[in-house]
């Protein structure tokens, strides 16, 4: 038992602790949003594996599968556990909240807190799947990681967020000081590009799917999806044409290869879903993008188009993956959930504001306050209804 009042602690912009009750409420809200908007009679995949299931898009996917379709879920994630008076990470508390509610609703859920890149993670997952959930009909791959230790070479690769070929100069928000400043980012070396592809490209996704296929654990017609981002041309030097973009292109090539393999072996499919820019822990590290998001959110909110990870996953699961629906894809075989973000009127709005946005008008032109609140919410802070002076149990388990 470790009862304590948990106040937000941050290093600059980044929160270094998490609030269990705030995280639990966030998960509850997402569950309610799915359960209350689920069309009557909606059905879909029944045995769902989510890799990267504790925060952001992966957590929202897991919730959409469980409370949208009544699916049994296995979630894989890598989170810090509580240790004395040191809190766990938000993803750990989110998962405790997920399990708590799954138990109440008699939904089967299993979780593995481990390094998904390791062979042992695949073995442990396979053992659970065989025992509890075979055959699997949907696999979501939603990892976002700064590093990966390769299971064969033992080498650790660190991903970087850099342009390729030439220096990139742009505006960005200095998150700690809330100042809009010029940033210049040096191009990546060949090794940094290769390392980023090794971490965020498709190799590990392929290993997961091959391991499941080889064990005969994928159902006839099983589907798998990984998530990507494209965004506007303005961010391409640091995103689409940068190191992370190379990794995403590798992920897309992997989707094409897995699609052929799955069609052949189990009559299944593999897709990339290109998702909208939302506030998640991983995404805050990308230079320039937080400023872009502040402007984007303001415009999308004003037009009634704003969506977070949950709303995006609701569309994916209800409109593309539910029984009776077929995935709607673009010419590159990608599902495009970024359609509203990429609408010409939305992007035109950003293009108009971009040259003028500065420290003095940041809050008027953009929704940086909303961005900051969303970010703190991810850690269970500034969540409505939570009494942050009250002692809470931080040593909780599922
Ligand atoms: P996130 O940081 O919220 O989630 C990352 C997840 O990966 C967490 O569950 C974490 O525990 C897990 N993880 C990290 N390293 C791991 C490891 N070694 N082993 C097991 N689990 C590990 O990130 P997110 O933004 O939801 O990103 C998920 C995917 O969505 C990424 O592919 C990202 O590129 C994509 N995407 C994100 C955005 C965005 O705006 N955030 C937009 C489009 C696509």
Domains of the chain: 17-166+189-289+306-341 (3.40.50.720)
DSSP-derived letter for residue 206 is H
Atom index in ligand 1 nearest the CA of residue 244 equals 34
What average pLDDT does range 203-222 have in this prediction? 98
- pLDDT of 57 reads 98
| Closest Cα to atom 42 of ligand 1 | 277
Give per-residue pLDDT as tens, 383-396: 999 999 999 999 99
Tokens of 287: 């230079």
What spacing in Å lies between the alpha carbon of 199 and ligand 1's midpoint? 12
Can you tell me the distance from the alpha carbon of 256 to that of 261, in angstroms, rounded to the nearest whole number? Answer: 9
**Residue 92 annotated as catalytic:** no
Whether 136 and 225 have beta carbons less than 8 Å apart is answered as no
Report pLDDT for 14: 87
- Residue 141 CA to ligand 1 center (angstroms) comes to 9
Q: Residue 381 pLDDT more than 90?
A: yes
pLDDT tens digit sequence for 90-109: 999 999 999 999 999 999 99
Give the number of the atom of ligand 1 that is nearest the alpha carbon of residue 57. 26
Testing ligand 1's pocket by substitution, the residue of 96, 144, 286, 306 carrying the most ligand atoms inside 8 A of its CB is 144
CA–centroid distance, residue 55 to ligand 1 (Å): 7
Question: Exposed, middle or buried, 236 (CB in 10 Å: 0-12/13-18/19+)?
Answer: middle
Contact 59, 309 (CB under 8 A): yes
Q: H or E stretch including 149? A: strand 147-149
Q: Which residues have C-beta atoms less than 6 Å from ligand 1?
A: 52-58, 76-79, 91, 115-117, 142-145, 227-229, 275, 277-278, 280-283
Instruction: Using the CB atoms, write b or e for 80-94: b if 16+ within 10 Å.
Output: eebeeeebbbbbbbb
Question: Best mutation site among 30, 143, 271, 286 for ligand 1, i.e. most ligand atoms within 8 A of its Cβ?
Answer: 143
Q: Using CA atoms, how far apart are residues 43 and 322, in angstroms rounded to an integer?
A: 6
3-state secondary structure of 249: helix
Exposed / middle / buried, residue 397 (Cβ in 10 Å: 0-12, 13-18, 19+):
exposed
d(CA 163, CA 239): 8
Please tell me the predicted confidence (pLDDT) of residue 285: 80
Give residue 1 CA to ligand 1 midpoint distance, Å.
31
Region 235-263 average pLDDT: 97
**Ligand 1 centre and the CA of 77: distance in Å?**
9
Mean pLDDT throughout 153-176? 94
CA of 356 to the centre of ligand 1 (A): 32
The predicted pLDDT at position 5 comes to: 96
To the nearest 10°, report the CA torsion of 94, 27, 118, 277. -120
DSSP codes, 340-352:
TTT-HHHHHHHHH
Q: What is the pLDDT of residue 175?
A: 85
With a cut of 90, say whether residue 119 has pLDDT above it.
yes
pLDDT for residue 283 is more than 90? no
Which pLDDT tens digit goes with each residue over 67-94? 999 999 999 999 999 999 999 999 999 9
Averaged pLDDT for residues 20-25: 98
In this predicted structure, which of 114-118, 268-272, 370-374 has the lowest mean pLDDT? 370-374
The protein residue with its alpha carbon nearest to ligand 1, atom 16, reads 78
Q: For ligand 1, what atom is nearest to the CA of residue 277? A: 40
Short-list 41, 61, 33, 35, CA closest to 49: 61
Band of pLDDT at residue 295, cut at 50, 70 and 90: very high
- Does the pLDDT at position 314 exceed 90? yes
Stronger pLDDT, 176 or 364, i.e. the higher one: 364
Q: What is the mean pLDDT of residues 343-352?
A: 97
Backbone angles phi, psi at 299, to 5 degrees: -70, -45
Catalytic residue among 239, 292, 371, 388: 239
C-beta of residue 341 within 8 angstroms of C-beta of residue 276: yes
- pLDDT at 11 > cutoff 90: no
H or E stretch including 178? none
Instruction: Give the Å distance between the CA of 361 and the centre of ligand 1.
Output: 31
Residue nearest to atom 30 of ligand 1 (CA): 227
- Taking the chain, what is the end-to-end CA distance rounded to the nearest angstrom? 14
Q: pLDDT averaged over the chain?
A: 96
Tell me what the mean pLDDT of segment 280-299 comes to.
90
3-state secondary structure of 49: strand
Per-residue pLDDT, averaged over 23-35, amounts to 98
SS3 state of residue 384: coil
Token representation of residue 234: 């303005």
Q: Among 282, 308, 339, which residue has the most ligand 1 atoms within 8 Å of its CB, making it the best to mutate?
A: 282
Percent of the chain with pLDDT strictly greater than 70: 100
């Amino acid at each position: 038992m470790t009862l304590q009042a948990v106040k937000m602690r941050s290093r600059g912009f980044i929160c270094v602790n998490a609030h269990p009750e705030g995280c639990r409420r966030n998960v509850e809200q997402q569950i309610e949003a799915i359960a209350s908007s689920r069309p009557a009679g909606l059905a879909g995949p029944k045995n769902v594996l989510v890799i990267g299931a504790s925060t952001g898009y992966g957590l929202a996917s897991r919730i959409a599968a469980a409370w949208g379709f009544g699916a049994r879920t296995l979630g894989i994630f890598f989170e810090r556990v509580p240790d004395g008076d040191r809190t766990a990470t938000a993803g750990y508390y989110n998962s405790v909240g997920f399990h708590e509610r799954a138990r109440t609703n008699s939904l089967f859920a299993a979780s593995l807190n481990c390094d998904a890149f390791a062979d042992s993670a695949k073995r442990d997952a396979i053992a659970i799947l065989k025992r509890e959930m075979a055959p699997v009909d949907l696999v979501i791959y939603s990892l976002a990681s700064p590093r990966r230790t390769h299971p064969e070479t033992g080498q650790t690769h660190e991903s970087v967020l850099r342009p390729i070929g030439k220096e990139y100069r742009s505006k960005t928000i200095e998150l700690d000081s809330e100042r809009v400043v010029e940033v210049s980012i040096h191009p990546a070396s060949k090794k940094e590009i290769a390392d980023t592809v090794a971490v965020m490209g498709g190799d590990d996704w392929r290993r997961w799917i091959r391991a499941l296929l080889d064990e005969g654990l994928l159902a006839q017609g099983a589907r798998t999806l990984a998530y990507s981002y494209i965004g506007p041309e303005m961010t391409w030097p640091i995103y689409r044409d940068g190191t992370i973009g190379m990794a995403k292109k590798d992920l897309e090539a992997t989707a094409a290869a897995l699609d052929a393999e799955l069609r052949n072996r189990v009559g299944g499919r593999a897709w990339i879903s290109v998702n909208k820019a939302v506030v998640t822990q991983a995404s805050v590290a990308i230079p320039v993008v937080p400023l872009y998001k502040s402007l984007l959110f303001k415009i999308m909110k004003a037009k009634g188009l704003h969506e977070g990870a949950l709303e995006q996953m609701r569309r994916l699961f209800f409109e593309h993956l539910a029984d009776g629906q077929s995935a709607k894809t673009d010419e590159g075989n990608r599902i495009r959930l970024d359609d509203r973000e990429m609408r010409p009127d939305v992007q035109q709005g950003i293009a108009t504001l971009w040259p003028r946005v500065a420290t003095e008008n940041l809050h008027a032109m953009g929704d940086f306050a909303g961005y900051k609140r969303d970010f703190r919410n991810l850690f269970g802070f500034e969540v409505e209804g939570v009494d942050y002076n009250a002692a809470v149990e931080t040593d909780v388990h599922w």
